[in-house]
């Protein structure tokens, strides 16, 4: 069983400036929930009972968000007879009742691999999940649960994959693969933002992984790239070059990428229109516009 998930939230969110100076992008809402809640709920629904947030200095919003509701707020809601709101808060807290939260501060953003390394001492020798804060998957079975099922069989790192049209390949990490079974692949290489002509496949890496502690050693040995970053994909590439096995799984579900303004707006509109309470009126509003 995968019991621990590292959720990466230490990025600067530069594509969302100036708002991201004061409101981290993982707290921007999609319909009525922040991105980060979707990711944390996916972890819990996949059997995770310990979540480790990697956060930037002086940003404790995640800590505030997932801790218990302040008593003064509850008293205020109760005195004003806001029963529906109190019920909403109680349901939220119940979702995470059996989850322990830890917070690691990354003093300076130096790539996703560096952020993962900050949590090494909390992981020990157990396999663990890594979830990026802006990759949301809408699916019947949570995406991480799909990866964990593959890991249970292979006991090797498993990477979430999604097919993309040719014109989009140059914006993502693309894997070269050998097909093992339906939706399951052995990863042979990872090409970072290749041209469409040089892309090894049409399968892009999505920010969801199940990893083994062995990956930490590869991250520690990496030299920073020209941007001064330590990147998980580079560690996995070295891992594979050493003859070790890593798998990719083309998950079932809709990928809602939120890493840039256009994608965020599209995801927000999509989830808002599907909201059972607000969706129908929003749909009518859009038709009228």
Residue 221 to residue 45: CA distance in whole angstroms: 34
Place of tokens 């109680």: 90
**Are residues 188 and 239 in contact, defined by beta-carbon separation less than 8 angstroms?**
no
Q: Tell me, what's the pLDDT at 60?
A: 77
Q: Which fold has domain 4-288?
A: Spore Coat Polysaccharide Biosynthesis Protein SpsA; Chain A (3.90.550)
Radius of gyration, alpha carbons of the chain:
20
Q: Which residues contact 128 (CB under 8 A, 6 or more apart)?
A: 2, 4, 5, 6, 210, 211, 213
Q: What is the 3-state secondary structure (H, E, C) of 6-42?
A: EEECCCCCHHHCCHHHCCCHHHCEECCEEHHHHHHHH
Task: Report, as an integer, the average pLDDT of 77-86.
Answer: 90
| pLDDT for 247 | 98
User: Cα separation of 5 and 60, whole Å?
Assistant: 18
Binned at pLDDT 50, 70 and 90, residue 279 comes out as: very high
Q: How many CA atoms lie within 13 A of 253 on its CB side?
A: 22
pLDDT of residue 62: 85
Task: Quickly count: other Cβ atoms within 10 Å of residue 154's Cβ.
Answer: 16
Q: For the segment 19-78, what is each residue's pLDDT rounded down to a tens digit?
A: 888 888 889 999 999 999 999 999 999 999 999 999 888 777 888 898 888 889 888 988
Distance CA 101, CA 65 (A): 11
pLDDT score of 13 more than 80: no
Element spanning 126, H or E = none
Confidence class for position 17, pLDDT limits 50, 70, 90: confident
The answer to whether 209 touches 157, Cβ cutoff 8 Å, is yes
The whole-model pTM stands at: 0.93
Percentage of the chain beyond pLDDT 70 is 99
CA end-to-end distance (rounded Å), the chain:
49
Tell me which residue of 59, 210, 54 sits closest to 133, measured CA to CA.
54
> Would you give the DSSP letter of residue 81?
T
Which single residue is written with the structure tokens 């052995």?
186
Q: Output the pLDDT for position 19.
A: 82
Indicate the pLDDT class of residue 259, thresholds 50, 70 and 90: confident
Q: Please say whether the beta carbons of 41 and 164 come within 8 A.
A: no
d(CA 149, CA 202): 23
Q: What is the pLDDT of residue 10?
A: 66
Average pLDDT over residues 221-241: 94
Classified as helix, coil or strand, 2 is coil
Give residue-wise pLDDT tens across range 130-155: 999 999 999 999 999 999 999 999 99
Tens of pLDDT, residues 198-228:
999 999 999 999 999 999 999 999 999 998 9
Q: How many CB atoms lie within 10 A of CB 288?
A: 6
Average pLDDT score, the chain: 92
pLDDT of residue 46: 97
DSSP 198: T
Contacts of 166 (CB under 8 A, 6+ apart): 196, 199, 202
Residue 286 has pLDDT above 80, yes or no: yes
Question: Span 176-185, mean pLDDT?
Answer: 96
Question: Alpha-carbon distance 237 to 234, whole Å?
Answer: 5
Higher pLDDT, 4 or 68: 4
Longest dimension (CA), the chain: 64
pLDDT in tens, 99-128: 999 999 888 889 999 999 999 999 989 999
Spatial distance between the Cα atoms of 215 and 264, rounded to a whole number of angstroms: 31
């Amino acid at each position: 069983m995968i019991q621990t998930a590292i959720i990466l939230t230490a990025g600067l969110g530069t594509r969302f400036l100036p708002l991201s100076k004061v409101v981290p992008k993982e707290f921007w809402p999609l319909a009525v929930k922040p991105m980060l809640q979707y990711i944390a709920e996916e972890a819990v629904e996949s059997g995770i009972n310990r979540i480790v947030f990697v956060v930037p200095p002086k940003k404790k919003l995640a800590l505030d968000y997932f801790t218990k509701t302040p008593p003064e707020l509850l008293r205020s809601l109760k005195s004003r007879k806001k029963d529906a709101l109190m019920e909403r808060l109680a349901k939220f807290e119940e979702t995470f009742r059996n989850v322990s939260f830890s917070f690691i501060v990354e003093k300076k953003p130096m790539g996703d691999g560096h952020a993962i390394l900050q949590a090494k001492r909390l992981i020990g020798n157990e396999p663990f999940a890594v979830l990026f804060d802006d990759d949301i998957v809408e699916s019947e079975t949570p995406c991480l649960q799909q990866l964990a099922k593959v890991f249970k069989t292979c006991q090797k790192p498993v990477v979430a994959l999604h097919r993309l049209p040719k014109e989009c390949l140059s914006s993502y990490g693309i894997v070269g693969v050998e097909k093992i079974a339906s939706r399951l692949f052995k990863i042979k290489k990872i090409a970072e933002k290749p041209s469409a002509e040089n892309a090894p496949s049409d399968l892009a890496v999505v920010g969801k992984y199940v990893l083994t502690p062995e990956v930490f050693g590869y991250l520690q040995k990496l030299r920073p790239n020209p941007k001064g970053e330590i990147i998980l994909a580079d560690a996995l590439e070295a891992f594979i070059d050493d003859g070790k096995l890593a798998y990719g799984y083309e998950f079932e579900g809709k990928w809602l990428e939120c890493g840039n303004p256009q994608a965020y707006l599209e995801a927000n509109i999509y989830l808002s229109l599907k909201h059972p309470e607000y969706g129908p009126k929003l749909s009518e509003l859009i038709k009228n516009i």
